[in-house]
Chains A and B, each alone.
Chain A
């Protein structure tokens, strides 16, 4: 996707109970992108054309339709019906999609992730995995460590120069479950689990609270085969200033915030 020196446009769908637009747009701006917020009602009304001049779409966090039936289900249903094929074509044509928290739940329930076995040109895949209630029921807000899988095709995580980065996790339904036993190892093998919850030693873990939901293998996110669709439960966009980090006042200081580097890597990969 070519960008003639202008800031690449990043579509940020809003409304219907989503609520992370402010920090997501700030992260996009910090990464050199131009955030374009748009109410989902307007996006659906505009149809596939709305994607034409965009480099990236970020499905943000929040409680779409209150997460009343199950997290992300109602919005995923709406988007799959109206824009599902347009979104996969957008990625086939070189665009990127990021889903954070509720956005990840929506991508999974729309069938955009992991889209195992889908080839470019195919219609949107069926839902293959799900995100369900945390092992310890209920919403939890706490910082987590994420271990990056360096073999992953994910274009976003390339922007982080450390193997482990931190950010807040804030969800009640973040445990990945799989329809059959074969899927998880095959995804892992293909590097399609770009980030895993890690313990103090930096190693992936299923132990609470380092892993807040009990996801197997510590899986915190997934990407598609192209690496251009990435979804994760934790919120890297909420670590945009060093003062977001719980230890920023330590004499040693906190690590650099991951929000801008993740998005910049995504946008740079597209511009190449």
Chain B
């Protein structure tokens, strides 16, 4: 059998029988055409797209024909070896042909699957190489326009290359190789004799993100050991000690000068306020006897990959929310995809493995219509938005995990660095293979096994990179692309292994790669010893330190007892999942890393984990200057007419329907949904909170909500935290959650709060952080809400062309509620004419109204202190009591945008209307409708429950539910008011999408 030319190229395009009408011939072309027009104004006369594969596989021509037959759809596609003819109509000018492919070394998931089909087809492991790419053909554009289209819509130079040509095209069959055959040698870094300047320079040049104090501590450690560190040791320490992994700011000593001018010491924000709040809640629960002593609510908090709380007699719940901000700024699609599949691994790898149940997302972007000049190197916010959505959609959908929550916030402060929150809830069997599942029991002698994907140069320095400001100097290698398929196959296999009792522990390979995962698990047994030469690589030529810290995706580090190692490896082999024994866990007290015979890392665990010097920082916060006291009532009354103001809010990005994105997230897979992300009779209104079953055949459910109030920060970061907690709790209560089974996660995203030349206002930003933590503590303790896991991302600044864009301090509080019977969950729609509508909760008269001010640019009205958090808790208790007596038909938790938005959402969700009657002057009505006072519920109650509401000291009657066409009618006693039909509200609510043609 003669194997012919090993290098081939395949091009595939849509068959003419499936062409659509219009200038774009196939559906991908149609989608790109829409983006091209919306984002760049370019209108090609005609477009089409193609798939391109490059195959370096030894096979005969007959075999190659079979391969093409397997790859090509015989009904809907045409394809050839070589190049397809480029003209549609010979009379026309030839098109520009734009070919886009991944740069060498970037994960190519399609290429990998094509190779699998080739091997299947030929019945042998060919050991070949396959790359994939795509082609876009443009007619009717000039070359510079095609270049612009490529740059602004089609490709990302950080991960892809582009070739623009006209027929006749060159026949390019090469697949550039990313690797070299030589393994770079291990270097020793002379630290012991280095001056301070040299230490700083070594950290800066090596992208280590280590401070002078930290470099000095490392130099000192090695002085006592009489040698200099290897490059691998220094890298390992840099990853382990990174802000990303070690949370040094939350651990630092802080001298804080409060609004009263007095300075007091804080012995670590995390210990004082985060763990402190959870301890206080746990103690209060114990004192109240809420849980049986042998079954505490808090099962595992703070020490594992995600928090674990008790749910039913057979299952616990696991929850973690992460951010993936810097990678999403560089490569929105890949960065966000990596964010969601990465947090999946966190929840999955808790204890000895959990079953993934639901994903959540939340994004803060620059405005989609941003028209200020953007520094070179920053993408336009609308492109970041589009890429981030698609990355999380693909990552979540392909993993088979329903997306149950999502939100978007837009503000110019996020144009430098977007915030990309991704979270995952999992359900964990209380026991598997005869042991509590939340416990890892790694023992000396257990094998260190790396499972899943292979290691490449992608994702090197991710942890340290995210601990620095984003700038032109961002390392290209920090960008990774995830492969949900490899990860899903790995999860399936590890779940089988867990149930069979084959593993004693596992953890995710995320930030810091093997250095972090093995280094952390080594603490369980007391040491670890691994050989990097055994690690499977994507391509040769990686230095040992690169293998150690690479954050290449889809990998878990698993501890396998010797008795089970054969069964474990055999199971993985049968599931097409790569598993490699790298070494063993030990009790040597050391993290020892070899490359073959050479020892490249030898660090005491005590130094690795506890050797980082604690920072001592200064912080100060005082309230902003008092607001204009001149004519407060006039200021409060300023702005458009009430109905125009409400329509204006409904049309704003962040409040307007984002269904063209939201509908692309699968929220039905697993068949457990009860209250979906979009609700109402038209299924287009965002749910206050979502509800789903956790296991088939059971009626217990989880309830998900969140609170985020970045625009309160400039008023008072304490209020920002209280409002976030309060809103998250109110949301889940509105959907039916129990008040005594709530848990929350905190995600802090802050601009760099360390005072320096580049951050002269660091002391204030750190003061904002302290103030925010104080509010978080107070609110969590008051609500009895434990913080079970969290994450901080402390360097959300971007510096491009000398311009610094810093985010507003942002705290996300994600609340996980529980409901005993999902059939009692509450949705938003109005169902019974004659029901009464009340606003339950304390009123402050002239509250903060951030969204109204952002929308209409009016001078802010006077702000009075919000109600104390205890008053919010009291209201919540009374709401729950009323609800559990059957006194709540539906409820909304007014948040950003105020009560007006809550009422509008109820009407949009219904076939009935609301007749609202308010008292007071123009300013009072405006404050009531658009104020954002925490602690309030809009309650719709059956009329027979009105007496209880009427008797409530802080309940205000708003009106009634009325039959007829859905309409929000607001009458102001003494004159004024408005009527808005649902139809009119819906038109502005969906306006953005009508423009998009979706």
Tell whether, in the assembled complex, residue B664 and residue A69 are in contact, meaning their CB atoms are under 8 Å apart: no
Tell whether, in the assembled complex, residue B31 and residue A138 are in contact, meaning their CB atoms are under 8 Å apart: yes
Residues of B within 8 A of A65 (CB): 113, 116-117, 485
Tell whether, in the assembled complex, residue B823 and residue A139 are in contact, meaning their CB atoms are under 8 Å apart: no
Interface string of A127-153 (1 = CB under 8 A from B): 111101111111111110000000000
CA distance A143 to B663 in the complex (A): 11
Q: How large is the interface on B (under 10, 10 to 19, 20 to 34, 35 or more residues)?
A: 35 or more
Interface string of A1-20 (1 = CB under 8 A from B): 00000000000001111111
Tell whether, in the assembled complex, residue B26 and residue A133 are in contact, meaning their CB atoms are under 8 Å apart: yes
A26-B696, A74-B117, A78-B120 known; A170-B668 Cβ under 8 A: yes
Tell whether, in the assembled complex, residue A141 and residue B666 are in contact, meaning their CB atoms are under 8 Å apart: yes
Report how many A-B pairs have Cβ atoms within 8 Å.
185
Tell whether, in the assembled complex, residue B74 and residue A126 are in contact, meaning their CB atoms are under 8 Å apart: yes
Q: What is the minimal beta-carbon distance from A214 to any residue of chain B, in angstroms?
A: 9
Q: What is the minimal beta-carbon distance from B546 to any residue of chain A, in angstroms?
A: 27
Tell whether, in the assembled complex, residue A135 and residue B27 are in contact, meaning their CB atoms are under 8 Å apart: yes
Q: Which residue of B lies closest to A24 (CB)?
A: B671
Residues of B within 8 A of A14 (CB): 492
Tell whether, in the assembled complex, residue B683 and residue A246 are in contact, meaning their CB atoms are under 8 Å apart: yes
Q: Which residue of A lies closest to B402 (CB)?
A: A141
Tell whether, in the assembled complex, residue B113 and residue A139 are in contact, meaning their CB atoms are under 8 Å apart: no
- Tell whether A77 is near chain B: CB-to-CB under 8 Å: yes
A69-B114, A177-B17 known; A246-B109 Cβ under 8 A: no
- Tell whether B576 is near chain A: CB-to-CB under 8 Å: yes
Instruction: Find residues 66-107 in chain B having any chain A CB closer than 8 Å to their own CB.
Output: 70-71, 73-77
Tell me which of B227-235, B520-528, B673-681 binds A: B673-681
Tell whether, in the assembled complex, residue B489 and residue A17 are in contact, meaning their CB atoms are under 8 Å apart: yes
Q: What is the minimal beta-carbon distance from A123 to any residue of chain B, in angstroms?
A: 17
Residues of A within 8 A of B20 (CB): 135
Cβ-closest 3 pairs across A and B: A19-B400, A23-B671, A66-B485
CA distance A106 to B492 in the complex (A): 21
Q: Which residue of B lies closest to A238 (CB)?
A: B671
A16-B489, A74-B117, A132-B76 known; A143-B683 Cβ under 8 A: yes
**Of A15, A22, A27, A109, the contact of B575 (CB 8 Å cutoff):** A15
Instruction: Find residues 15-44 in chain A having any chain B CB closer than 8 Å to their own CB.
Output: 15-20, 22-23, 25-27, 39, 41-42
Instruction: Find residues 50-72 in chain B having any chain A CB closer than 8 Å to their own CB.
Output: 51, 70-71
A16-B489, A246-B676 known; A127-B74 Cβ under 8 A: yes
Q: Which residue of A lies closest to B74 (CB)?
A: A127
- Tell whether A122 is near chain B: CB-to-CB under 8 Å: no
Residues of A within 8 A of B26 (CB): 133
Tell whether, in the assembled complex, residue B827 and residue A19 are in contact, meaning their CB atoms are under 8 Å apart: no
Q: What is the minimal beta-carbon distance from B481 to any residue of chain A, in angstroms?
A: 12
**Of A62, A130, A136, the contact of B75 (CB 8 Å cutoff):** A130
A sample of 24 inter-chain contacts (CB < 8 A) reads A17-B485, A18-B400, A19-B400, A23-B696, A66-B113, A66-B484, A73-B73, A81-B121, A127-B74, A128-B75, A135-B27, A136-B998, A140-B664, A143-B683, A177-B75, A238-B669, A240-B671, A243-B674, A243-B822, A244-B673, A246-B683, A250-B681, A251-B831, A251-B832
Residues of A within 8 A of B77 (CB): 70
Residues of A within 8 A of B666 (CB): 139, 141, 170
- Tell whether A272 is near chain B: CB-to-CB under 8 Å: no
Tell whether, in the assembled complex, residue B671 and residue A244 are in contact, meaning their CB atoms are under 8 Å apart: yes
CA distance A74 to B75 in the complex (A): 16
CA distance A18 to B370 in the complex (A): 40
Tell whether, in the assembled complex, residue B110 and residue A68 are in contact, meaning their CB atoms are under 8 Å apart: yes
Given contacts A15-B492, A67-B398, A68-B112, 4 further A-B contacts (CB under 8 A): A65-B113, A138-B664, A170-B666, A249-B826
- Tell whether B829 is near chain A: CB-to-CB under 8 Å: yes
- Tell whether B226 is near chain A: CB-to-CB under 8 Å: no
Tell whether, in the assembled complex, residue A241 and residue B683 are in contact, meaning their CB atoms are under 8 Å apart: no
- Tell whether B393 is near chain A: CB-to-CB under 8 Å: yes
Q: What is the minimal beta-carbon distance from A12 to any residue of chain B, in angstroms?
A: 13
Tell whether, in the assembled complex, residue A249 and residue B831 are in contact, meaning their CB atoms are under 8 Å apart: yes
Tell whether, in the assembled complex, residue B71 and residue A142 are in contact, meaning their CB atoms are under 8 Å apart: no
Interface string of B670-696 (1 = CB under 8 A from A): 111110100101010000000001001
**Of A42, A69, A238, the contact of B110 (CB 8 Å cutoff):** A69
CA distance A39 to B492 in the complex (A): 10
Tell whether, in the assembled complex, residue B668 and residue A168 are in contact, meaning their CB atoms are under 8 Å apart: yes
CA distance A126 to B998 in the complex (A): 36
Tell whether, in the assembled complex, residue B669 and residue A77 are in contact, meaning their CB atoms are under 8 Å apart: no
Interface string of A194-206 (1 = CB under 8 A from B): 0000000000000
Residues of B within 8 A of A22 (CB): 670-671, 696
Q: What is the minimal beta-carbon distance from B135 to any residue of chain A, in angstroms?
A: 16
**Of B31, B484, B489, B825, the contact of A137 (CB 8 Å cutoff):** B31
Tell whether, in the assembled complex, residue B671 and residue A26 are in contact, meaning their CB atoms are under 8 Å apart: yes
Residues of A within 8 A of B142 (CB): none
CA distance A134 to B575 in the complex (A): 32
Q: What is the minimal beta-carbon distance from B36 to any residue of chain A, in angstroms?
A: 14
**Of B113, B574, B823, the contact of A42 (CB 8 Å cutoff):** B574
Q: Which of A74, A138, A141, A239 has the most CB of B within 10 A?
A: A141
Q: Which residue of A lies closest to B496 (CB)?
A: A39
Tell whether, in the assembled complex, residue A142 and residue B696 are in contact, meaning their CB atoms are under 8 Å apart: no
Tell whether, in the assembled complex, residue B576 and residue A66 are in contact, meaning their CB atoms are under 8 Å apart: no
Residues of A within 8 A of B74 (CB): 126-127, 130, 179
- Tell whether A264 is near chain B: CB-to-CB under 8 Å: no
Tell whether, in the assembled complex, residue A19 and residue B488 are in contact, meaning their CB atoms are under 8 Å apart: yes
Tell whether, in the assembled complex, residue A41 and residue B576 are in contact, meaning their CB atoms are under 8 Å apart: yes
Q: What is the minimal beta-carbon distance from B336 to any residue of chain A, in angstroms?
A: 15
Tell whether, in the assembled complex, residue B75 and residue A129 are in contact, meaning their CB atoms are under 8 Å apart: yes
- Tell whether A210 is near chain B: CB-to-CB under 8 Å: no
CA distance A68 to B114 in the complex (A): 8
CA distance A136 to B14 in the complex (A): 15
Interface string of A42-81 (1 = CB under 8 A from B): 1001000000000000000111011111100110011001
A66-B485, A141-B666 known; A249-B829 Cβ under 8 A: yes
A136-B998, A250-B829 known; A177-B114 Cβ under 8 A: no
Q: What is the minimal beta-carbon distance from A63 to any residue of chain B, in angstroms?
A: 5
Residues of A within 8 A of B832 (CB): 251
Residues of A within 8 A of B28 (CB): 133, 137
CA distance A69 to B399 in the complex (A): 17
CA distance A94 to B114 in the complex (A): 35
Residues of A within 8 A of B263 (CB): none
